[in-house]
Structure 1
């Protein structure tokens, strides 16, 4: 597939990739700024009553914002898209697990919609256009 082919699947893949990338990038930017410490403290307080070891909660509090930022950029520009989407999906799996432990079922429902988006993006990753990956083919 060339970098500017415009069939329906390619265009849908592009729009979905932009939406996923923008979502992750937005989360990462907000949390990495002046809210980075606030986010870490919030995560630690939120999971203080769960069986997750506090060291793991602290680690995730440090890692989630930069991962969201990095994966958002990579997905937006379409570089290593398959692996970036896979990592973003696995990150979402960890968030789903955490919300299940907190019994936040309404949030889990929303996160499952995200998982459908990751699934669709991954199944059409070979059809992507206007991406670093497609230009490097």
Structure 2
């Protein structure tokens, strides 16, 4: 994979995660209330949904920042896929089928980036760790 194409794909994923977290962080309580409301009729207990709803924007913002910078990329890709798997499971449990394709695309993009990580030359990882 071309190193510049890899950078562009990493930035696409990073900006998406970063943007999701950035807009949710200032309204964290409202976001949590919306999410717990969305899951109120699901089989998941509120005791799981509430902490996840507060952690999700922080995770999105952090993963996005790391992806944009190309720092700790391998961990960011893996963590991002785990977040997407949890979101996909939740989406299925509340039967929000419209959101599933977007989540799958995010997960697939992260997996693709992980697969071709040797092309991650335009990154802080490459500068700091000489990968």
Determine if the TM-score, normalized by the shorter chain, exceeds 0.5. yes
Q: Following TM superposition, by how much is the alpha carbon of 1:9 offset from its aligned partner in structure 2, in angstroms?
A: 2.3
**Unaligned ranges ≥5, structure 2:** none
Does the aligned pair in 2 maintain the 1:44–1:54 contact within 8 Å? yes
| Residues 4 and 122 in structure 2, CA contact (< 8 A), matched pair in contact too | no
Report deviation, 1:111. 1.3
Q: Does 1:44 align with 2:36?
A: yes
Aligned residue in 2 for 1:3:
none
Number of the residue aligned with 2:109: 117
**In the alignment, structure 1 residue 92 sits paired with structure 2 residue 84:** yes
The TM-score, its normalising length taken from structure 2, stands at 0.94
How many Å apart are 1:74 and its aligned residue? Answer: 0.7
CA-CA distance at 1:77 after TM superposition: 0.3
- Regions of 4+ moved over 6 Å: none
What is the number of residues matched between the two proteins? Answer: 129
CA RMSD across the alignment: 1.0
**Higher RCO (C-alpha under 8 Å, 6+ residues apart):** 1
Matched, 1:17 2:3: no
Q: Distance in 2 between matches of 1:115 and 1:25?
A: 15
Structure 1: runs of 5 or more not aligned? 1-7
Q: 1:62 aligns with which of 43, 54, 67?
A: 54
Partner of 1:126: 118
CA distance in 1, matches of 2:64, 2:105: 18
1:56 Cα deviation from its structure 2 partner: 0.5
Alignment partners' CA distance in 1, 2:4 and 2:14: 15
What TM-score results when the alignment is normalised by the length of structure 1?
0.90
Q: What is the CA–CA distance in structure 2 between the aligned matches of 1:98 and 1:29, rounded to whole Å? A: 21
Distance 1:26 1:109 in 2: 18
